[in-house]
Amino acid sequence: MTTNSIQTVFAAVLGAFCLFASAAYADTTKITFVTDWKAQAEQGGFYQAVAEGLYKDVGLDVKIRQGGPAINIPQLLAAGAVDFAMGSNSFIPINLVVAGADAKAVMASFQKDPQVLITHKRDDIKSLADMRGHPIMISDASINSFWVWLRAKYEFQDNQIRKYTFNMAPFIVDKTAIQQGYVSSEPYLIKKEGDVDPQVYLLADEGYPGYGAMILASGKQIRDHPETVQAFVDASILGWKSYLFGDPSSGNALIKADNEEMTDEIIAQAIDKMRDYGIVDSGDTEELGIGAMTDERWESFFNVMADNGVFEKEIDYRAAYTKQFVNKGLGKEAPASSSN
């Protein structure tokens, strides 16, 4: 299918959805959606849905409140201070269950967690398995997250851990260095700051089962206003589709207005990475649509973490999510990314 054909199909689908939605939602409901960090392309689908009026078309008046180091999303949800928030990874909804919070994941924007390990180009490392025994810079928070999976799958050892301070300089100057990162962030910064073209290994492409960029909803919202949750999820899905496969300029304008550190170059390369690696549109989305979640993925993630002591095995991890609002095929017309 040509680019013009894809855009024509997208416009037709979006137009039909908006006509239906305008008739179906007469009243406007005010919603505050808290993101997991400062405004960036990794939240672009939500900003696009605001900019393009997709939330408005389904009767929602959505205000995006950007996150940051002072914003504790699990705490806000647990306290009932917000109805919708963004969860960065699969640990967050399960931790909400552990804390007794009344909230669930209702959509997974990212089918692939963007977490990567990065090396210089070198002959002795061509895969994640080759990194066993080598020093690796990771953050303290990562020790009980993706590092657990690396230990389980590749027999990594804790004596490999070196502290990652989110400063690119140690990696740039040390050609033997290995460090963590996000596929849409650190590789770009390393190239820009150090003129180094790194080798990037996306953990999800090696089987890491976690989701990313999830919509979290309070239990009260799910029980009392399921139509609002469905509307928010549907419009967000179309927002992601428009952002990645249409013209993202309107969403980008809102991102830059919220976060002055964002530039056109930073945003453009992040969008390219999300497309190229199939972060949003891969795997189950081909049949189930953007935002898909499956019991198998959640079970796989939980079992790895529980088997390695991150979670108690008795935890009801199924209480961390609901498929009620996804897997309906919405957005599956998006063209497959080159990584599939």
For residue 83, the model assigns a pLDDT of 85
Residue 73: pLDDT band with limits 50, 70, 90: confident
What average pLDDT does range 68-92 have in this prediction? 89
Please report which residue ranges of 58-209 form alpha helices under DSSP H: 73-78, 91-98, 146-154, 169-173, 186-194
Residues 173 and 255 in one domain: no
Asked whether residue 75 is assigned to any structural domain, the reply reads: yes
pLDDT at position 78 is 79
Least confident of 140-144, 234-238, 259-263: 140-144
Sign of CA dihedral 189, 167, 184, 199: positive
Assess whether 167 and 273 both reside in one domain.
Answer: no
d(CA 194, CA 188): 10
The per-residue pLDDT for range 33-45, each reduced to its tens digit, is 999 999 999 999 9
Instruction: Specify whether 137 is located in the same domain as 235.
Output: no
Residues 106 and 215 placed together within one structural domain of the fold: yes
Query: 121 with 240, same domain?
Result: no
Residue 123 lies in a domain: yes
Report the distance separating Cα 168 and Cα 149, nearest Å.
24
Q: Are residues 147 and 12 in the same domain?
A: no
Helix 91-98 vs helix 295-307: crossing angle, to nearest 10: 70
pLDDT at 26 over 80: no
- The predicted pLDDT at position 71 comes to 86
> Would you state the pLDDT for residue 3?
41
Q: What is the pLDDT of residue 335?
A: 53
Q: What percent of the chain has pLDDT over 70?
A: 90
Residue 20 above 80 pLDDT? no
The CATH number that applies at residue 122 is 3.40.190.10
Does residue 25 carry a pLDDT above 70? no
* Per-state percent for the chain, helix, strand, coil, to nearest 5: 45, 15, 35
* Mean pLDDT of all residues belonging to the chain: 91
Residues 98 and 142 in one domain: no
List phi, psi (to 5°) of 42. -65, -5
Residue 81 pLDDT level (bands cut at 50, 70, 90):
confident
| Domain shared by 302 and 155, yes or no | no
**How many CB atoms are located within 10 Å of the residue 31 CB?**
18
Together in a domain, 140 and 155: yes
**102-120 mean pLDDT:** 97
Would the pTM of this model clear 0.85, i.e. be above it? yes
Residue ranges making up the domain that contains 190: 115-206
Same domain, 246 and 296: yes
Q: Kindly report, residue by residue over 176-201, the tens digit of the pLDDT.
A: 999 999 999 999 999 999 999 999 99
**What Å distances lie between residue 18 and 74, 88, 192, CA to CA?**
33, 29, 41
Number of domains present in the structure of the chain: 2
Assess whether 104 and 235 both reside in one domain.
yes
